[in-house]
Structures are given as C-alpha cells and as structure tokens.
Structure 1
Amino acid sequence: MLDHTDLRIIEELSKNSRIKMKELGEKVHLTGQATSARVAKLEDNGIIEGYTIKVNHIKLGLIIHAFIHIYTKSAVHDPYHTYLKEHEKYVINNYKIGGDSCYLLECKFPSNEQLDEFLKGLNKYVNYKLSIVISK
C-alpha cells in the first residue's frame, strides 16, 4: 500500500523524472538515500514502470493534432493494425474503446496533405470520424 510519501515521490517524479534524489528527498522530507530506496521499491513493485520525455511536436513540425474515431468494417482488425504500424510516425496513441466507436486514434501530422493521405489509406480498412484539436 502506498503512503503519503510514496504518492508525493510519484507526483514529483511526474513533474521532473530527472530530479536528483537529494533534491527529491528535500521535497518529500527524506534523505537522498532513503528517497532512492523508496524509488527503487516503487520500481521493483511495478508502480513506476519507466521514465519518459515530453516532446514538443509543434517544434518537430507536427502541427496538425487529430483524434480519429475508428469504426471497423469487419471483425478482423489485423489490416487496420498493420496500416497503423506502417504509418506509426503519425500515431501517438491507439486506444481500443467501448461506446460508439471501436478505437480512438490520436495522431499528429506535419500538414493537411499528409493527414488527407493518411485518411485515404485508412478508409480502405475502416470508417472514421475526424476531430481536429484547435487548442490545448
């Protein structure tokens, strides 16, 4: 069971996963060594699964942010998944969901032309409903 200190460690690591253990310890009122042991335990228990970076997609030239509701045409979804693997540079997340659609696809594109090409190819395997992000 996680205590308040464990939750604070997770909160601080979520803000900055590169924080030094001594600095993290000061924030959660532990020594650097005790903090390091707590983090190791959280990792060993699978609570912390890994560390990541936050990428600015706009600076990478990916200016079109789209959410695409996917409606499969058949019970066989392999062609859809294969298409996504072939175009993984655009795919941020592919969630299998319940509700009106089968999947919710989150993508980023450098231009409307690439989005259009992606959608034309996608439509060979599934139907879709497109939403474009206006602001965050």
Structure 2
Amino acid sequence: MDFAAEIDEIDRRILRELRVDGRISNTHLADKVGLSASPCWTRMRNMEQAGVIEGYTVLLNQKLLGLPDTVMIEVTLERHDDDTFERFGQALAQMPEVLEAYLLTGEYDYLIKVAVAGTEGYEQFLRRKLYTLPGLRHSRSTFVLRCLKRSVSVVP
C-alpha cells in the first residue's frame, strides 16, 4: 500500500510541527494542528507504524562538542563487487566521525561527510581510519566553509 497517497493535510501539519520540535507534547501538537489529543496520537502512531515517521532524534552542536569542521570526501574503490561495497560501507558506519555516507553513481563511489577538529583532526581521521580500510583506491577532500542549509528530513 502507498501510504503517501493516504497522507492528508492534517497529517502534513503534524509532520511539519514534529520536524520543528520532535519533543512537542501530544496535547500541544494536537492544539497546533486543530485536533483533540486522541486522534492526533492515533495519526502519529499510524505514521510511525507505516514508516513515514522513522524515528526521533536530537541535533548536537558539533562545534561545541570539539568537532567544528566538516569535510566532504569523495572516495573511489579499487573493486566494484558486492563484498567490497558491503565491507567498506559497514566500516564507515562504525566510525563516529562519519556523519553521512552515500553510495554514488558517477566518477566517485562514495560521498562521505565527516566532523573533525581542524586539519590535524582530519589528518588523524585519514591516516588512522579511512586509509586503513581495504579497497580504497583514491579520495578527494573538501573542507566546508559554511553550512547554508541543514535538514534531516523533507518538508511534507
């Protein structure tokens, strides 16, 4: 079943409010979207069960946590077989510095977003972690100067 076809404007208002504040109380959320608490809770639960709402999270300030710099890394692997992709992807998922990792089409195989503490922190990440992974052939890095937009989900 295509749940997206069943989402109405009230569901979209619920999702927009949750996107801004995932800790909002059900009572306050219901007031904001024009429902009573029980139907609001039921709609949220239905969207959770359908996978529309995948989870709730908190955004941490990486600068205040001592990792002020973001680096985008393009990676090319030596081989393109399922085992190499699987092992490389699993290894990336275990690295706390890796914020996001995408398998790509085109010139590079992966785009990786990492949080580091300056060039020294980045060098340590490269030498002690990324370059130790088997199968890596080439990487190209770019330091982020400023984030212009950051979003963890789409706007419904």
TM-score, with length taken from structure 1:
0.89
Q: State the AA in 1 paired with 2:140.
A: K
Aligned to 1:104: 111
Structure 1: distance between partners of 2:49 and 2:67: 36
Distance in 2 separating the partners of 1:42 and 1:82: 29
Distance in 1, matches of 2:93 and 2:120, equals: 20
Measure how far apart 1:24 and its partner are. Answer: 0.7
How many corresponding residue pairs? 135
Deviation at 1:79, TM superposition (A): 5.6
Aligned residue for 1:116, secondary structure, equals helix
* Equivalent position to 1:126, from 121, 137, 140: 137
Evaluate the alpha carbon distance shift between residue 126 and residue 82 of structure 1 in structure 2; reply closer, same or farther with a 3 A threshold.
Answer: farther
1:82–1:24 Cα change, 3 Å = closer
* Identity value in percent: 27
| Residue in 2 that maps onto 1:93 | 100
| Structure 2 spans left out of the alignment, 5+ residues | 1-5, 148-156
Structure-2 separation of matches of 1:9 and 1:79:
39
> For residues 42 and 67 of structure 1, what CA distance do their matches in structure 2 show?
33
Q: Given residue 11 of structure 1, which amino acid in structure 2 is its aligned partner?
A: R
TM-score under structure 2 length normalisation: 0.78
Cα-Cα RMSD: 1.8
